[in-house]
Amino acid sequence: MSEAETIDGLVTTIIPVYNRAAMLRQAVDSVLAQSYRPIEIVISDDGSTDDTPAAMAALAAAHPDVVRCVRNPNRGPGSAREAGRVLARGEFIQYLDSDDRLLPRKFEAQVAALRAHPECAIAYGRTRLIDMDNVVLASPFKWTGEVRETLFPGLLVDRWWCTHTPLYRRVLTDAIGPWCDLRYSQDWEYDMRAGALGVQLAHCNVDVSEHRHHVGARQTGSGKWLAPSDRVRFFEALFTHARSAGVAVDAPEMRHFSRWVFSHARTCGHMGDAGSARALYRLALRASAGFGFEMRAYRALAGAIGWERAARWSDAARTALGRKTGADTRMQSWMRG
């Protein structure tokens, strides 16, 4: 499918949704309440089986000049966002999960920031974490209150903003390319590619969005994090894009990344996937510049008794020795309140 023609000044908001009619209406209302115009909204349904399609049709009928809808088979949030992206006509692109809400002056502030800083391709502001009763649990949430000029090296530690925090120039989303098919952390993978392009960021010192904490599944799926083979895809991509962005292997964030990947190598061993455990171990070693006694000793153990038994023995030994989180491990952004 070819991408739509760009309309100058237009902000397109792409909302993926799956079985979430009530929150979808609230998400759409938060876009309609924007002080900025012109806007358009593309709602992209990920194969909903409840009354969500009817809610979408009602929203499009109520706002025919603003809201458009597309229905897709259930393939996950990345595919749903991509189906919306190729329909987008805006000079600026906003992604908004149906769980969350934008604050009324978001587009006004972030479009102005991008106009004032033509060297920047993303503007972001402060996001706050709220519950379903609108009680603020953390503000700013993650690192969205910090002024950062680039996505890396921070992305090696965590995706330090939320999907709704940034506003992208359309030329950048075209350069990033299609969303991937990972069921989880596909938004992180998306921003890895932006970071590898060396994109510059403009920070707006205002609250721009609300991330809602609720008991249901986030995004448009549910379940555990990535399967072992997809963890290999995710971490290899993160390392490759970080290196493309110029992050050195001796950077503190890269040392954190190495230990993090090593922990997932052990997890995959526990899960009985020796191939993924081996691949992640090799990546952890590359990211550590080939150093690390514990990693080398672990490889010898795995070679002798197998990756699954090595993971169990290693964890038992770490517990017995009282081993704690390593000095190179950094706190992820959501841990900072």
Q: Are 52 and 71 in contact (CB under 8 A)?
A: no
The structure tokens listed for 11 are 């902000």
pLDDT, averaged across the chain: 92
**With respect to CATH, is domain 7-212 assigned 3.90.550.10?**
yes
The answer, yes or no, to whether residue 220 has pLDDT greater than 80, is no
- Among candidates 84, 32, 28, 23, which has minimal Cα distance to 51? 23
Q: What is the mean pLDDT of residues 207-233?
A: 81
Give the integer Cα–Cα distance in Å for 292 and 101.
Answer: 44
Question: Measured in whole angstroms, how far is the alpha carbon of residue 35 from the centre of its chain?
Answer: 26
The answer, yes or no, to whether residue 293 has pLDDT greater than 80, is no
Contacts (Cβ under 8 Å, ≥6 apart) of 55: 21, 22, 24, 25
The answer, yes or no, to whether residue 188 has pLDDT greater than 70, is yes
Q: Looking at per-residue confidence, does 319 or 81 come out higher?
A: 81
> Bridge-partner residues for 210, per DSSP?
101, 128
pLDDT tens for 112-143 read: 999 999 999 999 999 999 999 999 999 999 99
Helix (H, G, I), strand (E, B) or coil at 276: helix
- pLDDT class of 296 with cuts at 50, 70, 90: confident
- What are the backbone angles phi and psi of residue 173, rounded to the nearest 5°? -65, -35
Give domain limits for the chain. 7-212, 228-336
Q: What is the mean pLDDT of residues 264-276?
A: 95
* Whole-number pLDDT of residue 4: 75
Q: Which helix (H) or strand (E) holds 269?
A: helix 252-270
Amino acid letter at 87? Answer: L
Q: What is the mean pLDDT of residues 79-90?
A: 97
- pLDDT class of 177 with cuts at 50, 70, 90: very high
Q: Which helix (H) or strand (E) holds 128?
A: strand 122-130
Q: What is the mean pLDDT of residues 61-88?
A: 97
Q: How many CB atoms lie within 10 A of CB 32?
A: 16
* Whole-number pLDDT of residue 337: 44
Helix (H, G, I), strand (E, B) or coil at 165: coil
- pLDDT class of 320 with cuts at 50, 70, 90: confident
- What are the backbone angles phi and psi of residue 299, rounded to the nearest 5°? -65, -40
pLDDT tens for 7-30 read: 999 999 999 999 999 999 999 999
- Among candidates 287, 142, 118, 299, which has minimal Cα distance to 208? 142
- Among candidates 28, 55, 74, which has minimal Cα distance to 222? 74
